[in-house]
């Protein structure tokens, strides 16, 4: 079972992902992609750390997401990736320009074959105005294409608005979410 949770900043994406993970009886691994590049980001990371259950395994991986997912996914387990757009930022700012295609292709190829439950969290950035900066426009384009691709690979897609989950894509009949819950 794979779920994609999208939404704006502070829309409740992480909280919703965590509630879905807690509804599954198996072990939970969180793959955190953010890095503390400044004090504000360090504070955000610290707040997330303080609010998640201590029994969860945490893997910090800012670039090689497919490799981290392959190691973390277990039958009966849950992996949360938080978040895809921070991961994209890390890759777009990487010194190797081929890194973007390599890492995105690795993720897309791996995802359909992973055991357990995967919950992918990302910022929906396509609702805003067109940025004047070329890098920001590229980021929006790359994020939009990634989200479309992953939505096609996921069983469910949820858009978070003001803390409320809106189901964009529901699991097909007979493939419901664990514990009878729909993301």
Please tell me the predicted confidence (pLDDT) of residue 115: 97
Active-site annotation holds for 177: no
Catalytic residue among 16, 48, 64, 147: 48
Joined tokens for residue 50 = 């303080």
Q: What is the pLDDT along the chain (183 residues), one digit of tens a residue?
A: 999 999 998 899 999 999 999 999 899 999 999 888 888 888 888 887 877 888 999 999 999 999 999 999 999 999 999 999 999 999 999 999 899 999 999 999 999 999 999 999 999 998 888 888 999 999 999 999 999 999 999 999 999 999 999 999 999 865 544 433 334
Please tell me the predicted confidence (pLDDT) of residue 144: 95
Closest CA to 87 of 36, 32, 39: 32
Residue 74, C-beta contacts closer than 8 angstroms, at least 6 positions apart: 26, 27, 115, 116
Please tell me the predicted confidence (pLDDT) of residue 43: 85
> Whole-angstrom Cα distance, residue 70 to residue 98?
21
Tokens 């503390």 identify what position?
36
Please tell me the predicted confidence (pLDDT) of residue 174: 56
Joined tokens for residue 6 = 């999208």
Please tell me the predicted confidence (pLDDT) of residue 147: 97
> Whole-angstrom Cα distance, residue 80 to residue 60?
12
């Amino acid at each position: 079972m794979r779920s994609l949770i999208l939404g704006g900043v502070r829309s409740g994406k992480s909280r919703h992902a965590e509630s879905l993970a807690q509804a599954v009886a198996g072990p939970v691994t969180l793959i955190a992609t953010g890095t503390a590049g400044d004090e504000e980001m360090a504070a955000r990371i610290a707040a997330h750390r303080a609010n998640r259950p201590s029994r969860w395994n945490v893997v910090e991986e800012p670039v090689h997401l497919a490799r981290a997912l392959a190691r973390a996914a277990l039958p009966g387990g849950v992996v949360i990736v938080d978040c895809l757009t921070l991961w994209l930022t890390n890759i777009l700012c990487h010194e190797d320009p081929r890194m973007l295609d390599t890492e995105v292709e690795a993720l897309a190829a791996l995802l359909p074959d992973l055991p357990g439950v995967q919950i992918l969290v990302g910022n929906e950035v396509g609702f805003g105005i067109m940025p004047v900066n070329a890098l920001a426009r590229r980021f929006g384009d790359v994020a939009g294409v990634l989200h479309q691709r992953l939505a096609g690979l996921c069983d469910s897609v949820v858009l978070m608005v003001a803390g409320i989950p809106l189901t964009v894509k529901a699991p097909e009949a007979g493939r419901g979410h664990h514990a009878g819950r729909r993301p």
